[in-house]
A and B are shown apart, each in its own frame.
Chain A
Amino acid sequence: MAIAHHADIARLKRTHPEIFTRPLGERLRNWALWLGFALAVGFSLWWIDASPMRVINGLSKLGMLVGLMVPPNPGDGFWDFSYAMLETLAMAFLGTIIAAVVAVPLGFLGAKNIVPNWVFHFTIRRFFDAFRGIDGLVWALIFVSAVGLGPFAGVLAIAVGDMMVLGKLFAEAIENVDKKPVDGVRASGGGGLHVVRLGVLPQVFPVMTSHVLYFFESNVRSATILGIVGAGGIGLQLSDRIRINNWQQAAFIILMILVTVAVIDAISRRIRAKLI
């Protein structure tokens, strides 16, 4: 029985080879892709100078640093750190709010169903995308140069970095609204603004709020590091402590960041669950 079975399989392999192996072209292409990928990885590792010796040396140094971090200890800086953390939260909050306020009109301008001119639509969307290419820290560098050291530069960096991205998300939310309420408002004689206020806004408001909350969460994370380039908040304290080799305080600050981010995430998740 088993022998007959094997014979069957052998016969099937002969008559229908394509079921058992993939076509040669496809196999060759897959091999070429994997080879290219392996070469790219190898080249990258060579470029960044990743030798095993370096890894081992670095790891032993890293182990030493971790040893220096234990136990985390705020020393006499606890209140300074707490205030800096508050500053970080304030920067994230204000920056997100400003970005959201600016993003609402941008979103309406960028939505195809509100402004149906496709040249305009294409231009404004590319404009939104272009801003996304710049990291928040780079904006912070620029604003520190422009308006001086301190949290104000951080607020501006967060606001400018986010407004275009939020604008794009808002525009997408507006494009996805249900047509029926809009038609209803129009059928009962509403003008353009009525359509926006009574037909579109009630549908998109929860989505927008949810996006804004999500951005607030992520901005709390990024605001913790803006201080490294002088834009206020806990990052300044952290980079200072690392610079002067005070690893116990540095570890304490990192723990503070972890706890704060976890608390903010939990609160924001609850509000978002309620909204949608």
Chain B
Amino acid sequence: MSAVSPAGSPLAANRQGERIASFEGRYRREQNVRRLWTLGYGALFVLALLASVAVSDFSIPGLVQGLPKAWNYIAGTLPKLSRATLGADLADWFWGLRYWLRLLFETILMGFIGTVLGGVLALALCFAASRNLVTNSAIYFMARRTLEFLRTVPELVFALIFVFAFGLGPFAGVLAIAIHTAGSLGKLFAEVNENVDERPLEGVRAAGGNWPMVMRLGVVPQALPNYASYLLLRLEINVRGASALGIVGAGGIGQELYVAIRQFEYTDISAIMLLLIATTSVIDITCETIRHRLIGHDLTGAD
């Protein structure tokens, strides 16, 4: 216990204790800073929540009254089926089946052709929007901004305007889908392009290929499976989207659904919704199967 002590004596233990204390102090300080940040973000979140509640007329009493009303509404759309007259009841429920199937078919066609046209436009724009493929930054910038514009304006807004310009019917809807699809697929295609292997491109260049040849022979063969996969993903989304376009008069089953809801044809609403769910499920499953066969994993980042 003297002042002159080798390692392992109280003095060293003391030093160690100090170090632990200083470490703990720093740890606590860090923790406090972190807590402050969490609190700050939490306060911001609560503030945003309160503001949203105030602006959107949302209230707990409103919710308590509204939810049963919404539930009653949904339950009210289901027809009364009795076991004795099941066949007749079903026939009554789906009385418009032939007409609805025709409209559903039109909806699918709109999704399909909209995806194809949008895909062609996306393919035309995507190379100019890939940073590794263009040296001119003005072209790159223009292509990127164009794609951004095409995908940020909501599909339905395009549909509203196109119905004005091209008249009522599926043609306006298809154009709206195609324009929006070009924007979102173009961005995704460009991202695929940016991830291709550089070596084949150099090979084509070394053999004297010009820019279009480099794209066609260097980039496209590498990117094609991913293009196809994104196209199929978009097809699923577009068939779903096409079902809503009828609301603004742009063709498809949406028109009929809109009329049914507006005129309180309750059982028609549920019948059309069920048909719609069945159709989109079948298309989803089909596309998913093909996609998995094409690239073998899931894609993300498609909005």
Residues of A whose CB lies within 8 Å of any CB of B are 40-41, 43-45, 47-50, 54, 57-59, 61-62, 65, 83, 86-87, 89-91, 93-94, 97, 129-130, 132-138, 141-143, 145-147, 150-152, 154-156, 217-218, 221-222, 224-225, 228-229, 232, 235, 238-239, 242, 254, 257-258, 261-262
Choose among B73, B116, B165, B167 the residue that contacts A41 (Cβ–Cβ < 8 A). Answer: B116
* Closest 6 pairs (CB-CB, A-B): A133-B280, A58-B166, A90-B52, A44-B113, A146-B73, A90-B55
Residues of B whose CB lies within 8 Å of any CB of A are 48-49, 51-58, 62, 66, 69-70, 72-74, 106, 109-110, 112-113, 116, 148-149, 152-154, 156-157, 160-162, 164-167, 169-171, 174, 240-241, 243-244, 247-248, 251, 254, 257-258, 261, 264, 269, 273, 276-277, 279-281, 284, 303
Choose among B48, B57, B273 the residue that contacts A150 (Cβ–Cβ < 8 A). Answer: B57
What are 24 A-B residue pairs whose CB atoms fall within 8 Å in the complex? Answer: A41-B113, A41-B116, A44-B113, A45-B113, A47-B109, A48-B174, A48-B251, A62-B166, A90-B52, A93-B49, A93-B52, A94-B49, A129-B284, A134-B277, A138-B243, A141-B247, A147-B62, A152-B57, A152-B62, A217-B303, A225-B156, A239-B160, A242-B164, A254-B153
Whether B58 and A228, one on each chain, are in contact in the complex, defined by CB atoms closer than 8 angstroms, is no
In the assembled complex, the CB of B160 is this many whole angstroms from the nearest CB of chain A, namely 5
Chain A residues with CB below 8 A from B53, complex form: 90, 94
Chain B residues with CB below 8 A from A145, complex form: 73, 261, 264
Chain A residues with CB below 8 A from B66, complex form: 146-147, 152, 156
In the assembled complex, the CB of B25 is this many whole angstroms from the nearest CB of chain A, namely 26
**Residue of chain A at shortest CB distance from B116:** A41
Choose among A47, A62, A154 the residue that contacts B106 (Cβ–Cβ < 8 A). Answer: A47
**Residue of chain A at shortest CB distance from B108:** A44
Q: How long is the Cα–Cα vector from A90 to B54 in the complex, in angstroms?
A: 9
